[in-house]
Structure 1
Amino acid sequence: MKPIGRRTRRWLMRAAGSALFLAVLLLVLPLEAVVAAFRAIPPATFALVLLGFLVAHVAAAMKWRLLLDNRIGVSRGLKAHFAGLAANLCLPGAIGGDAVRAGVAYGSLGNGPAVVAAAAADRLVDLAALLIVSLIGATEMFNPGAETKLAKVAIVLFCAAVVVLYALVQLLPQIYRLAPKLPGRGFLVRLTEALGALARRPLRLIFVLATSIAIQMTLVLLAWWLAVAAGADARIGYWVFAWPLAKVIAVLPISLNGLGMREAALAAFLAPHVSDPAMIVAAGLAWQAVMFAAGLIGGAIQLISREKPAALTTGGSEL
């Protein structure tokens, strides 16, 4: 009998994690209420949310392409990005999708280090954007209706994120000066180079971060629209605070692309502020369906183009 490969074993472990989270949720919450809330979402709303999701990811593809200095064409950038969305259906976690996206880009660019660095910088900028969006939501939670204060907080957070990204360029190389035997030095060097390239172009850095914040806020509001359609009574400030945090938590490598874990985290954050957490879970599962549909569209694009990701090499070693 052929032994189970490492990738398959990892996938099975994450699938078990997702199954466990979902089982606990459905034990705690009435299944009938979750199903009823899920079925309450009109098909037209689901279709419009899916369309908005796809448009947001077109913008995300262009942002990532900008981090590559526009060295790949628009069509190739879109193919690569949507190939990554398709890969998220079967590979463990968002990083698997990043690897496929990088492989398609590498087939055109032929510069492994640049592709890896752009992917790492893209993830870091998106993380900063998610935290900013969450803090904006927290401000709205405690000061509902204070639009002027909200705008000031958003500007301060944006400036702070730019400063932090600049500081990382200086601080990351110091890690290996203090501990030269730590693993992952090559990756850190590439990440520093990518951030350094952004730091040398402050307007580009500001534009990339602003674009990422706009994309993440759009996705948060689309998910909130699904929740409202499911019957949830979550105030928008609470949702904008909780959803990005649940998304960050879902990146932990213990579930399939966040399935089950995102819904559990979101329900835990919002349970004190909504009348029925079952509707929150239903909205989260509907969002998973949106991501699944987008992944199928990405797979169809890849099938039509009949293009396979290239083996990504960085200085002689494959990633």
Structure 2
Amino acid sequence: MSRFTTFTAVKVFVTLLALGILSYRVDAVAVLKTVSRFPAADLPIILAFLMAGLALSALKWQLLLQGLGRVVAFASLARLLWIGLFFNTFLPGRTGGDVVRAWGLAASDTNRLRSIASVVLDRGINLFALVLIGGAATLVDSRIPEELSTAVRGLVLSLLVVTALFFAARRRIMRYLPFRVQELLRTLEPGSWSGRRAATVVSLAIGFQMLVVLINIVIANALQVPVSSTGLFVAIPITAIVTAIPISINGLGVREAAYATILSYLGVDPEVAIALSLTVTAAMILWSLGGGAVFAFTSVSSSPRAAGEPRETL
């Protein structure tokens, strides 16, 4: 049995186990009843947040690529991001969309490692932004339980320390890494980076992740979930980080368990927390179908245009 087959089998087992435990401990009727409260009138504001998130992500990726020495049109990057979201949603894994993004970008890049590096760096910065948002929220609302605040602040501190140590000793660490990994990391050391560009990229990542939390807040209010907005600014980053760990099929089961567990610290019943998770996931699935439509009518590997480059005309 190959390593891939074994890993997939483990993820299927974890998914079924998580779903089995949840179905045993949670009242499915109560979950569906809570989901049914969602009003269609809230869909436009969720759509607006999703569109804004796509725009921020494309701009962030564009700045990352400029720092790595490549200029790509905003529209081309937005297209790849939307298509990538579709594949992330419907492929049995959490990195399928990233592979599609890197492949589509690399098709017109003589330095393919640069395309891969931009996607890896984009992922890392998004994770960094998530942790920062959660940590900042613990300082705003004193009603958040101490054990939850302590855990999030510990995560923030650990991430900052590890990041600082890595950059301080990166040349020494790279000696012990595989050659291909060394090449990838060297791509992330361009000469055109500046403090202003880095700050802008991180700010855009924070803005994008805040939009994700705001979508959760809108849906939570619509479902009458008894939780504060600042509480969700702490809880949602944690659930997102847990869901990103590739231990189940697309986070299924693990995501719902994370919502139920984390929100229980904020006094939310598991049925209500799972209803929130399912409704947010449904919104993301519907949005990703737009990326599927874009994929159906365009080619992922079609050369992304440089900024300012005119479209081909007949």
Which deviations, in whole Å up to 9, do the C-alpha atoms of 1:39-72 show, x marking residues without a partner? Answer: 1111222443134123202211221122111522
Q: Does 2:226 match 1:233?
A: yes
Q: Does structure 1 conserve the Cα–Cα contact (< 8 Å) formed by 2:255 and 2:277?
A: yes
> Per the alignment, in what secondary structure is the counterpart of residue 97 of structure 2?
helix
Quote the offset at 1:296 in angstroms. Answer: 1.1
Q: Does structure 1 conserve the Cα–Cα contact (< 8 Å) formed by 2:94 and 2:246?
A: no
Q: Does 2:113 match 1:113?
A: yes
> Per the alignment, in what secondary structure is the counterpart of residue 80 of structure 2?
helix
Letter in 1 for 2:277: G
Match of 1:186 among 165, 180, 187: 180
Q: Does 2:267 match 1:270?
A: no
Match of 1:53 among 47, 50, 57: 50
Quote the offset at 1:6 in angstroms. Answer: 6.8
The aligned residue for residue 28 of structure 1 is 25
Match of 2:281 among 279, 284, 288: 288
Q: Does 2:139 match 1:139?
A: yes
Quote the offset at 1:78 in angstroms. Answer: 1.5
| Partners of 1:215 and 1:308 in 2: CA distance | 24
| Partners of 1:14 and 1:243 in 2: CA distance | 23
Match of 1:202 among 195, 200, 208: 195
Aligned length: 288
| Partners of 1:7 and 1:89 in 2: CA distance | 19
Which deviations, in whole Å up to 9, do the C-alpha atoms of 1:111-166 show, x marking residues without a partner? Answer: 2111011111111111110000110121123278xxxxxxxxxxxx8xx96x9767
Quote the offset at 1:109 in angstroms. Answer: 2.7
Q: Does structure 2 conserve the Cα–Cα contact (< 8 Å) formed by 1:104 and 1:309?
A: yes
The aligned residue for residue 129 of structure 1 is 129
Q: Does structure 1 conserve the Cα–Cα contact (< 8 Å) formed by 2:80 and 2:300?
A: no
| Partners of 2:182 and 2:130 in 1: CA distance | 22
Structure 1 length-normalised TM = 0.80
**Unaligned 5+ residue runs, structure 2?**
145-155, 303-314
The aligned residue for residue 39 of structure 2 is 42
**Unaligned 5+ residue runs, structure 1?**
145-156, 311-319
> Per the alignment, in what secondary structure is the counterpart of residue 103 of structure 2?
helix
| Partners of 2:20 and 2:278 in 1: CA distance | 13
Q: Does structure 2 conserve the Cα–Cα contact (< 8 Å) formed by 1:72 and 1:108?
A: no
Quote the offset at 1:271 in angstroms. Answer: 0.8
> Per the alignment, in what secondary structure is the counterpart of residue 90 of structure 2?
coil
User: Aligned pair in 2 of structure 1 residues 20, 58: CA closer, same or farther (>3 Å)?
Assistant: farther
Quote the offset at 1:81 in angstroms. Answer: 0.9
Q: Does structure 1 conserve the Cα–Cα contact (< 8 Å) formed by 2:88 and 2:96?
A: yes
The aligned residue for residue 93 of structure 2 is 93
The aligned residue for residue 78 of structure 2 is 78
User: Aligned pair in 2 of structure 1 residues 235, 17: CA closer, same or farther (>3 Å)?
Assistant: same
User: Aligned pair in 2 of structure 1 residues 134, 119: CA closer, same or farther (>3 Å)?
Assistant: same
Which deviations, in whole Å up to 9, do the C-alpha atoms of 1:264-283 show, x marking residues without a partner? Answer: 11211111322422111111
The aligned residue for residue 305 of structure 2 is none
Quote the offset at 1:99 in angstroms. Answer: 0.6
Quote the offset at 1:285 in angstroms. Answer: 0.8
Quote the offset at 1:5 in angstroms. Answer: 8.1
Q: Does structure 2 conserve the Cα–Cα contact (< 8 Å) formed by 1:198 and 1:204?
A: no
User: Aligned pair in 2 of structure 1 residues 267, 39: CA closer, same or farther (>3 Å)?
Assistant: same
Match of 2:245 among 246, 249, 252: 252
User: Aligned pair in 2 of structure 1 residues 15, 293: CA closer, same or farther (>3 Å)?
Assistant: farther
| Partners of 1:10 and 1:309 in 2: CA distance | 29
User: Aligned pair in 2 of structure 1 residues 192, 171: CA closer, same or farther (>3 Å)?
Assistant: farther
> Per the alignment, in what secondary structure is the counterpart of residue 190 of structure 2?
helix
Letter in 2 for 1:95: T
User: Aligned pair in 2 of structure 1 residues 132, 275: CA closer, same or farther (>3 Å)?
Assistant: closer
RMSD: 2.9
Quote the offset at 1:221 in angstroms. Answer: 1.5
> Per the alignment, in what secondary structure is the counterpart of residue 244 of structure 2?
coil
User: Aligned pair in 2 of structure 1 residues 27, 228: CA closer, same or farther (>3 Å)?
Assistant: farther
| Partners of 1:272 and 1:143 in 2: CA distance | 11
User: Aligned pair in 2 of structure 1 residues 260, 47: CA closer, same or farther (>3 Å)?
Assistant: farther
User: Aligned pair in 2 of structure 1 residues 272, 167: CA closer, same or farther (>3 Å)?
Assistant: closer
Q: Does 2:218 match 1:220?
A: no
